[in-house]
Structure formats: structure tokens, C-alpha cells
Structure 1
């Protein structure tokens, strides 16, 4: 008589559980491998292309008003033109948000002005013109004194700053958002009277950019 070789229900259940676990591990391994491959590919493309930060230059600044109302309330009206350049060969740039303002002796002298979002192709240039204004903006009591010193020196030094968010575009892939900061310096001839305007500088200057 041949021996009876029957598997118990418990044995079959244990074997089924083991198979499910093996299948589950295989799926996890495959999924992890695919994700890592995609990330590795993105990093490889990133390091090969290595996007360079955008470049900005101040082309013109026109001061129409920069005067105190009372002891420490400032009224200002300034128009500036910035040149934005994408120096990359194969990388585009999405500018999602740009806020621009003017400062004097580390004091903000205009409100923030928003630049509409735009896309910049590789090796492309864009001119950005905006008006920076403030009405009754509180400034430090030293503002009048500092202005007097600059009048005696015959020149006025202003900073135009921009803060915003950008994204890199490589082919069809678009990166996450990166914060960038721009600082432009303008030196304007300054006479004995406050600039009731227009006080113009067309010399232009290169701006510093950090990403």
C-alpha cells in the first residue's frame, strides 16, 4: 500500500502566505528600483546641464519724487528698467513671483511692486519696467540727515532689490521652486536740492544674484 501524502489546510495556508509575502517583496523591490532609476536619471541630467543662475542688470532709474512729508513720512516715485538674462544653453526658467522695491541706507523707501509671472527661454533676455512708489511711508529719523550728507557729497546711492521664486525647465521636466534674491546699485548725481524729479541714471550696473 502506497503511503498517503496529504497536506493539511494549515500547511497550505502557510505556503500561500509565504508566496504572498514573496510577491509583495518583489513588487516593493521593483517599485523601489524604478523610483531610484528615475531619480538617478534626473540627478544625472541635472549635473550634466547644471543650470546657471539668472543674471540681472539695472538699465535705467528715474526718480520723480523722493521727499519727506513731516518729520519721518516719505513720499517716493521711482521708475526702473531691469534686464533679465537666462545664460543657460538648454535650461529654461519659470519666474513664478518677483517682488521689487527700492532702499536707501538699508531702509525700504518704496512699497513692493509685483512683476507678472513669465517664462524665459534659454539664452533669452527680457526687459522689466516697473514703477516703485510710496505715500506716507515711515522712515528712520536719520533719513533727512543722510540725505543732507549725500547732497553735500553730490551723489545719491540707491539699492533696488528683487526677491522671488523660480523653477528650472529641462526638456519636459520642471524642478521645484527655488528662492532667488537680486541686488542692484544705482549711483545718481545729486545737487543741492532734494530730487523733485526727474533725477535720472542711465549708466546701468550689473546686479548680484543669489539662488
Structure 2
């Protein structure tokens, strides 16, 4: 009987030495490990960043809010009003922060008529304002702290006859934000409140509870 045909033998030859393939496998594993480590690091960095952002949002100091409660010139209707002029005021200072307090080192007030300063007086001694607190700040301009010249008084009388006298109350303070054992650097704050007074010397409704503008320097 004829013998079965023999199958041809195929010889495979490696195109590269075994050491080359071992190096490629090792390199592939190293790349995968590095990718995993980089992914873990970036994920951790993202989590830390989100936590820091949330913490910053919750603890970021917000500027205080000032509103005029009262502003009065009781002698404005008096014949001798110029000699006995006195201006009293009351302003509310609201600290809107949830966790941050405010320490005021000093504060003074000024009053302006037609952008001319006619009075200046120091206010309260240093005080600490807790978070979510409203503090009432009042003061009086009189005597040497109030200097209204004849020209200014004549203009005030003209405005009085027209039914409204407009003043500007300014507050200036140095303060720091306080959080537990942490204190911010010192800031200087300027508050400006436009106030309209009627013929009776009392603040008009349009100015009462009006929010003052504020800026830092």
C-alpha cells in the first residue's frame, strides 16, 4: 500500500531575540502601572481641589453691610440754628459671615454737604463683631467736630425751602477678619451713605434703611 503523505514541517523563527519580547512585556506593564498611578493621583487631586473650593466658599469673608437708620439735624428750623447746629446719626453694621468675625481697631465718621466736609468725629473704641451679628453705630457732630460756615448754612436754608437737604455720611475704619485663631491682614474700609433730610431736620423715608456703598483700600 502506498505510504501516507508526510506533512511538511514549518519552522518558525523569531524576528527578535526573546530578551526583546521580555522587555516589551515589562515596558507594557510599567506603562499600565504608571497610568493607574497617574489616574489615582489626578482623582485624589480633584477631590482635594473640590474640598478646598467648598471650604473656601464657606469661609470666604464677605464684606459687612451698612444701612442708615437715622440722621437728624433738630436745630435746622431754629432761628439760631447755625450757632446751635448738631447732627446725630445711627447706622446699622451687619456682619453676614457664617463663621468669620470682624475686629474693628478704630473708626471715625465724617459728614459732607455738597461734597464739602463740614464735620468729623471719632467713634467707638476697638470692638469685636461676631458672625451673623448686627451692631448699631451712632455718633454726634457738634461743637468743634462740626464746622458749618455762613455760606454753607445759607445753601442749606435754600435746600430746606425746596423741601430736601442732601448730605453724605462717611465712615472710615481699620479692621481685620477673624476666624478662630486666624487673623487676616489689616484692611481699611470706606463707607459712604447718601442721606436726604426734610424741612424738619429728620431723615426722609427714601434714605431710611438705605444701604450704603462700601469699598476697601
What range is the shorter-chain TM-score in? 0.5 to 0.7
What is the total number of aligned residue pairs between the two structures? Answer: 157
CA gap 1:82/1:63 in 2 versus in 1, 3 angstroms: same
**Residues 53-202 of structure 1: pairs in structure 2 closer than 5 A:** 53-65=63-75, 67-68=81-82, 76-135=85-144, 142-190=151-199, 199-201=201-203
Q: Aligned partners of 1:46 and 1:154: how far apart in 2?
A: 51
Q: Is the 8 A contact 2:119 2:147 kept in 1?
A: no
- Deviation, 1:44, is 7.9
Instruction: Between the two structures, name the one with larger relative contact order (CA 8 Å, sep ≥ 6).
Output: 1
For 1:60 and 1:68, the matched residues in 2 are separated by 21
Q: Which has the higher strand share?
A: 1
Gaps spanning 5+ residues in structure 1: where? 1-42, 70-74
**Cα RMSD for the two superposed structures:** 2.7
User: In the TM superposition, what is the alpha-carbon distance from 1:152 to its structure 2 partner?
Assistant: 3.5
Highest CA radius of gyration, 1 or 2?
Answer: 2
Which residue of the partner structure matches residue 208 of structure 1? 213
What are the ranges of 5 or more consecutive residues in structure 2 without an aligned counterpart? 1-51
* Distance apart, 1:185 and its partner CA: 1.4
What CA distance in whole angstroms lies between the structure 2 residues aligned with 1:176 and 1:136?
31
**TM-score, normalised to structure 1's length?**
0.65
Q: Residue 51 of structure 1: CA displacement?
A: 0.8
